[in-house]
Amino acid sequence: MDFDNLLSRLDDETLQKLVGGDAVRLLMHLDPKLMSPSELRNLVVNLRTRAGLLLSPEDRRILFDFLRPKEAESLRIVLGLDGTDNYAALRQARFRHGSEREQILFDFFGLSIPREEVVDQPPSTTVLDSSYGLFVHQRQAAREIKIQLTEPPHRVMLHMPTGSGKTRTAMSIISDHLRATEPTVVVWLAYSEELCEQAASEFERTWKQLGDRSISVHRFWGDYELDLAQVKDGIVVAGLAKLYNLLKQSIRKIGTLGQHCSLVIIDEAHMAVAETYQLVLDSLVIPFPHTALLGLTATPGRTWADIEADEQLSRFFARRKVTLKVAGFDNPVEYLIHEGYLARASFRPLFHNSGLELSDADLRQLETLLDIPPSILKQLAADDQRNLRIVLEVESLVKQHSRILLFATTVEHADLIAAILQARGIQAYSVTGSTPSSTRTRIIADYMNPEDTPKVLCNYGVLTTGFDAPRTSAALIARPTKSLVLYSQMVGRAMRGTRAGGNEAAEIVTVVDQQLPGFGSFAEAFYNWEDVWED
């Protein structure tokens, strides 16, 4: 049976249900002509795909109701279902993924079952054989860091703006350390799998240029496993969650790693004093007086206004911080822009009176929580007028930019905006924490494709760190936040300069919701926490 023939029978009400009420409402505001049955059918197929409709139990049951009696009977028979009510039997049927019944269902409609993309993962241990130049500002920072690490208490924070090469600078420091100390183990800690893989891959490239012996790179996060007792030389790139879970099982195993470790690096170090992370760091460093600790961050504070939390971070690193300094420039961000390492960004607010109805509880949460409460974010995500302004702003941006990142308010908000942009003829995707890894890999690869077609990547909760797409020249920040750290990370995704493979200019549009706090300056954020690091 022809599947498109079945789709042609769907009435307006069913099509609108498949598209989604929020999307339908916005389409009506934007252009009623997009509500014709043919346009809605095309949108359903583009958003859900033909195979996706059959794979979804809810959508499948809707489609079964539009089969003609003889068709329903034929499908019930070929599926081997019992019962005299063909439609009831089909609605109640289960189709286990990969089963013969699922294959029969797809064959009946002349469709192919989509196959999951197999993403090749690097092996858990990679043996490397052994130039890796640094820019002037990176060399100066590296020299100062190495001096600080040799002096008690052997801990220091490296503070460099997003896009200035923190990871590259740190890898040079690690390579010098490994050449000077043999055998020894360096432990690199990060909180996300993306940051872990970024570090492991970067070290592999670095050591091939700077290394003086064969050395092992050990991956220890997610599904990777490793016998820590066998690691005597090399680098272990570990997920903080992985080590914390191991620590809860056996502190002895962490101690075994610590005995051979002489240098610990924590990426995104503003998170170091979170209870779970600090416990891991203390287990690796405190029992071993000569083990050095290096923190890496673009934002050496945890909050915007909680001085005590920022003081705690400063004390943890003994108030020792190496900050990028450039003669002739008051702010290193200005230097990085002048030299083309960062794009020259224009910041533009998109003001919106959301008409938020804040309860007393909401107001108390705004005052006490470190960021905007989820209940308020959900209200903003459901604001049709706000969403219309966001969609129209993106349509304006695609006229000037080929790659645009949109930081949405919620997971559902990212999906909604991507759907509306698709309906408006813009190549847009949604990536969130619930996006399957294979789909996420495919979407990001397409976004980074060098073709000139404008593309918009809507996301929530991901892509603020561990994501590098230098062609991105515009960011629309629709997620309100009290976190200067988070805001700086979102802005930084669009600020790669020409000398880093990016752009001369970038455009940052921030939705400013009345009644909520916000930010607007990337350069000023660099020095926001200086007072808590002063002796």
Q: Residue 257 sits in a domain of what CATH number?
A: 3.40.50.300
Which pLDDT does position 423 carry in this prediction? 94
Query: CA angle, corner 519, sides to 513 and 524, nearest 5?
Result: 165
Q: What is the DSSP string of 506-529?
A: EEEEEEEETTS-----HHHHTTTT
Name the average pLDDT for the chain.
86
Which pLDDT does position 478 carry in this prediction? 92
Does one domain contain both 466 and 371? yes
Does one domain contain both 212 and 306? yes
Does one domain contain both 364 and 492? yes
In angstroms, the CA 178 to CA 261 distance is: 11
Which pLDDT does position 171 carry in this prediction? 95
Query: Do the domain assignments include residue 115?
Result: no
62-98 burial: b if 16+ Cβ within 10 Å, else e: ebbeebeeebbeebbeebeeeeeebbebbeebebeee
Does one domain contain both 466 and 510? yes
Query: CA angle, corner 414, sides to 97 and 518, nearest 5?
Result: 150
Query: Do the domain assignments include residue 22?
Result: yes
Cβ–Cβ under 8 Å, residues 194 and 219: no
DSSP H or E stretch at residue 128 = strand 125-128
Cβ–Cβ under 8 Å, residues 420 and 27: yes
Query: Do the domain assignments include residue 155?
Result: yes
Does one domain contain both 381 and 441? yes
Which pLDDT does position 110 carry in this prediction? 93
Query: Do the domain assignments include residue 393?
Result: yes
Chosen domain end from 323, 351, 374 = 323
Query: Do the domain assignments include residue 529?
Result: no
Which pLDDT does position 526 carry in this prediction? 47
Does one domain contain both 150 and 296? yes
Query: Do the domain assignments include residue 236?
Result: yes
In angstroms, the CA 360 to CA 412 distance is: 26
Does one domain contain both 152 and 300? yes
Short-list 304, 370, 346, CA closest to 491: 346
Does one domain contain both 87 and 189? no
Any idea what DSSP says for residue 94?
Answer: -
Q: Other CB atoms closer than 10 Å to residue 151's CB: what's the count?
A: 11
Query: Do the domain assignments include residue 514?
Result: yes
Q: From residue 501, how far is each of 202, 336, 493 by CA, in Å? A: 16, 14, 13
Counting the structural domains of the chain, the total is 3
Does one domain contain both 150 and 257? yes
Chosen domain end from 269, 289, 323 = 323
Which pLDDT does position 534 carry in this prediction? 54
Half-sphere exposure of 510 (CA within 13 A, CB side): 22
Note if the bond before 57 is cis, omega within 30 degrees: no
Instruction: Tell me which residues of the chain have a pLDDT lower than 50.
Output: 130, 302-305, 526-533
In angstroms, the CA 377 to CA 412 distance is: 11
Does one domain contain both 401 and 303? no
pLDDT tens readout for residues 108-146: 999 999 887 777 788 888 887 646 778 888 889 999 999
> Position of tokens 């002895």?
252
Which pLDDT does position 94 carry in this prediction? 92
Does one domain contain both 12 and 88? yes
Q: Which domain holds residue 32?
A: 3-108
Query: Do the domain assignments include residue 530?
Result: no
Does one domain contain both 33 and 163? no
